[in-house]
Amino acid sequence: MAPTTAAARQAPSDDKRWRQVDVRMRRLGYRPDGLIEVLHTTQEVFGYLDDDALRYVGESLGVPPSTVYGVATFYSHFSLKPQGRHTCVVCTGTACYINGAGQLLEEVGRRLGVAPGGTTADGRISVLKARCLGACSMAPAVVVDGEVHGKVRPDALMAVLGTL
Amino acid sequence: MTPGEDDAPVVPAAGRAPGSAGRVRRHTDPLVPEGPVRVSANVCQAAGCMSMGSDRLFADLKEDVVASGATDVAVRRVGCLGLCSAGPLVEVPEQGRLFEKVGAAGGTSLAELLGSLTGEAPGGREVADDPFFARQVKVVLERSGKVDPEDVEDYVASGGYEALAKAVTMMSPDEVTDEVVRSGLRGRGGAGYPTGLKWRTVAKAPGEGGKYVVCNADEGDPGAFMDRSVLESCPQQVLEGMAIAAYAVGASRGYVYARAEYPLAVKRLQSAIRQAEASGHLGRDILGTRFELHIEVRIGAGAFVCGEETALLASIQGGRGTPRPRPPYPASAGLWGCPTLINNVETFANVPSVISRGSGYLAGTGTERSKGTKVFALTGAVVRTGLIEVPMGLRLRDIVFDIGGGLAPGRRFKAVQTGGPSGGCIPEDLLDMSVDYETLSQAGSIMGSGGMIVMDDTSCMVDVARYFMDFCREESCGKCLPCRVGTQQMYRLLDRMCHGTATMAQLEELEGLAGMVRATSLCGLGQGAPNPVFSTLRYFRDEYLAHVQDHRCPAGVCPMDGTPGAPVPPEGALMAGTGAASTGGAR
């Protein structure tokens, strides 16, 4: 697909964060094959991808809405709904699994009342599963707000989450 | 980091307070004295040790060394030192000593390390006699733990880019390819296709529209972190391998497709590309020749199937990562329809030594059909876990018991899982087998990318099979029916077994379905998905029978809470409410 239709457009709002998305698109020359890269940037600055964002990125890159939506929903990294203020990512790789990742998810789910992929009712914590963080030597591993915790037991994890 | 004035070494001066003006420029900079270095502390700065606090340790140690007044001690940032279970790790190469769990509870104190560095009292332990290190042969990881992963000059000083220089100035592209063919190097991503033959195919393909080289760094197997460690420890070596490959096949553009889950690896890779361009090893007029190569990083977005080469190409082009039938193979029609060479991280990292030392170097290690070494991520129920590189053909027993240090006291070995969701479980009576492509395949598993997870008697093999099937059904891209529906149905049958509701007829149904999915799926994800089922049925059928006939889980892992023959339990998240894994509380 030739990148002919794409160009700079009016952002959906005057939110300054759109500039970061615009810069990314410009650096990629508004090429349609940069779609995933631009969605990464958009999610980084806004936290998730809403309809306005998907439409704007699609129009700017000359990618039809159906394709943009197809891509955004295909990859598990992209989220179409807002995340909690904090994230708790439980690794469910093989080493973590045989070392009790299941119990961690179960305990967190029970105490916070939220299933994997969900966010607590007060919007405080999102609980997510990761395929494998590659931190297998510290199994089971949990990432809380970007910080890796190794050899985690349920009580220790709840203590960490309690301090957020 | 761009090499240059800004990276001028920090000079510790006796009597000066640490951190005083002009001393420590950036907390990430190494501490290198101006005069001769007597000893250096190599602090591991790969993700494993970093998450145990090695970045803070690195900063603290620099301050302490400066405060001690020592003027002949360097503190360097290095990549993975291998023994991840004992992190944060510090190695003092001049003394041949390793310091474990530095600054952590129950580990080496910072004072002990400092005492050893300043020559007061040697601490830590000898590396040379340790079986974890003694059984390893390092080719891919040759510089891992030795050079600064964020400094191209350090790589060059260690002999880096000599192979590229030799290739582009003294060899024709065909000679480079022939050398790789002769070395016997095979793809390290899992399938083991001869690397040289792949290069030759791409080299011979007509490329009016240009050609591409692609590095597959979408390391998706759960329990595998070889590629992450290589990229975090020595990204330049991978780039050098890619550049040699691009020269051989006639490509001028390249991509590295890396996982979003590996932010540190991505950051170091991007920095490595910028530095290599600045130092003339990438970009235009490489090393003063007409050869050019421009490499971009593309970040995955959490789809296991993108490790499959045609899905990976679709994802690089910005689309959904769904595979397509082959032929045409990417070697003839890949990115934007152009001939494209795709190799794995570890494959590319092998290339520089093949060229600089000659094909015989690699061909002299390993077995007749599996040459060279293989990097494994050794994890699970062994005492010492981490990143290892061993010659092909080493016995599995040596890896588990010598290198891994065996199992924790009171635990009994049950199986080694290799090859991730497309691999299998190898039982105790096969522990003396040789680790190479053919033997692993005969044993019903695969070499895979290098994940090696040891399981003990607290793991249930039916539960493990269900775990991998849950993985595959979630990661199935949905394009072809056998994989999309077959993995789901196999999961439900396995789930019944774990709940104690399955019948013997359903066990037969599982076997039949597994054969159908393997034979009819479009890509490797579906074709390999039944492997964990087949291999556990082959070696651990008694565990299946205990679940189905006796409604009992011998390992005590499965909930077994259903009534035999009852309807399928409601669909739920795999690990919510099923009791899932048991740890036995011993580890």
Shortest Cα distance, chain A CAs vs residue B488, angstroms: 18
User: Between A35-46 and A65-74, two packed helices, what is the crossing angle to 10 degrees?
Assistant: 70
- Whether residue B21 is predicted with pLDDT greater than 80 in this model: the reply is no
What's the Cα-to-Cα distance from B107 to each of A30, B101, B104, B162, B560, rounded to whole Å?
52, 5, 5, 40, 41
CB contact under 8 A, B48 and A135: yes
CB contact under 8 A, B575 and A102: yes
- Whether residue B585 is predicted with pLDDT greater than 50 in this model: the reply is no
Judge if B450 and B491 occupy the same domain: no
What average pLDDT does range A20-40 have in this prediction?
96
Judge if B224 and B95 occupy the same domain: no
Q: Which residues of A touch B47 (CB under 8 A)?
A: 134-135, 148
Candidates B142, B247, B248; CA nearest to B196 is B248
pLDDT class of B14 with cuts at 50, 70, 90: very low
Q: For residue range B169-221, list pLDDT tens digits in order.
A: 999 999 999 999 999 999 999 889 999 999 999 999 998 999 999 999 999 89
> For A149, which residue in chain B has the nearest alpha carbon?
B51
Q: How many domains does chain B have?
A: 4
Q: For residue range B424-454, list pLDDT tens digits in order.
A: 999 999 999 999 999 999 999 999 999 999 9
Q: Which residues of A touch B575 (CB under 8 A)?
A: 92, 97, 101-102, 105-106, 116
Q: For residue range B512-540, list pLDDT tens digits in order.
A: 999 999 999 999 999 999 999 999 999 99
Candidates A98, A105, A114, A129, partner chain B, best to mutate (most B CBs within 10 A): A98
- Whether residue B25 is predicted with pLDDT greater than 60 in this model: the reply is no
What average pLDDT does range B17-38 have in this prediction?
67
State the DSSP code for B502: -
Q: Which of B19-28, B48-57, B122-131 has the lowest mean pLDDT?
A: B19-28
What average pLDDT does range B451-480 have in this prediction?
96
Q: Is residue B142 part of a domain?
A: no
> In this complex, is the C-beta atom of B27 within 8 Å of any C-beta atom belonging to chain A?
no
Q: Is residue B391 part of a domain?
A: yes
- Whether residue B29 is predicted with pLDDT greater than 60 in this model: the reply is yes
Judge if B398 and B434 occupy the same domain: yes
Q: What is the CATH number of the domain that holds B392?
A: 3.10.20.600
Residue owning tokens 């690794």? A91
pTM of the model: 0.92
- A86-162 is classed CATH 3.40.50.9100: no
> In this complex, is the C-beta atom of B442 within 8 Å of any C-beta atom belonging to chain A?
no
> Which of B260, B385, B459 faces A98 most closely, judged by CB atoms?
B459
AA letter at B476: S
Candidates A66, A75, A137, A138, partner chain B, best to mutate (most B CBs within 10 A): A137
In angstroms, the CA B490 to CA B470 distance is: 9
Q: Is residue B407 part of a domain?
A: yes
Q: What is the CATH number of the domain that holds B524?
A: 1.20.1440.230
pLDDT class of B323 with cuts at 50, 70, 90: very high
Judge if B116 and B188 occupy the same domain: no
Q: Which of residues 199-218 of B touch A (CB under 8 A)?
A: none
More confident residue, B260 or B576: B260
In angstroms, the CA A2 to CA B331 distance is: 23
State the DSSP code for A145: T
Q: For residue range B351-394, list pLDDT tens digits in order.
A: 999 999 999 999 899 999 999 999 999 999 999 999 999 999 99
Q: Which residues of B touch A150 (CB under 8 A)?
A: 51-52
Pairing relationship of beta strands B212-217 and B253-258 according to DSSP bridges: parallel
Q: Which of B190-194, B459-463, B471-475 has the lowest mean pLDDT?
A: B190-194
Q: What is the CATH number of the domain that holds B37?
A: 3.40.30.10
- B395 φ/ψ angles, rounded to the nearest 5 degrees: -75, 145
Task: Measure CA of the first residue to CA of the last residue in chain B; give whole Å.
Answer: 40
What average pLDDT does range B116-141 have in this prediction?
91
Judge if B396 and B524 occupy the same domain: no
pLDDT class of B571 with cuts at 50, 70, 90: low
Judge if B112 and B232 occupy the same domain: no
Judge if B442 and B536 occupy the same domain: no
More confident residue, B30 or B567: B30
pLDDT at B284: 97
pLDDT class of B136 with cuts at 50, 70, 90: very high
Q: For residue range B553-564, list pLDDT tens digits in order.
A: 999 999 999 887
Q: Which of A23-27, B118-122, B401-405 has the lowest mean pLDDT?
A: B118-122
What domain range includes position B82?
5-128
pLDDT at B143: 97
Shortest Cα distance, chain A CAs vs residue B33, angstroms: 33
pLDDT at B572: 46
> For B297, which residue in chain A has the nearest alpha carbon?
A37
State the DSSP code for B403: I
- B374 φ/ψ angles, rounded to the nearest 5 degrees: -140, 140
Structure tokens at B42: 């190599």
What average pLDDT does range B460-464 have in this prediction?
97
Q: Is residue B289 part of a domain?
A: yes
Q: Average per-residue pLDDT in chain B?
A: 91
CB contact under 8 A, B458 and A133: no
Judge if B419 and B347 occupy the same domain: no
Which of residues B309, B342, B363 is at a domain's end?
B363
Q: Is residue B467 part of a domain?
A: no
Candidates A41, A97, A111, partner chain B, best to mutate (most B CBs within 10 A): A97
Judge if B220 and B308 occupy the same domain: yes
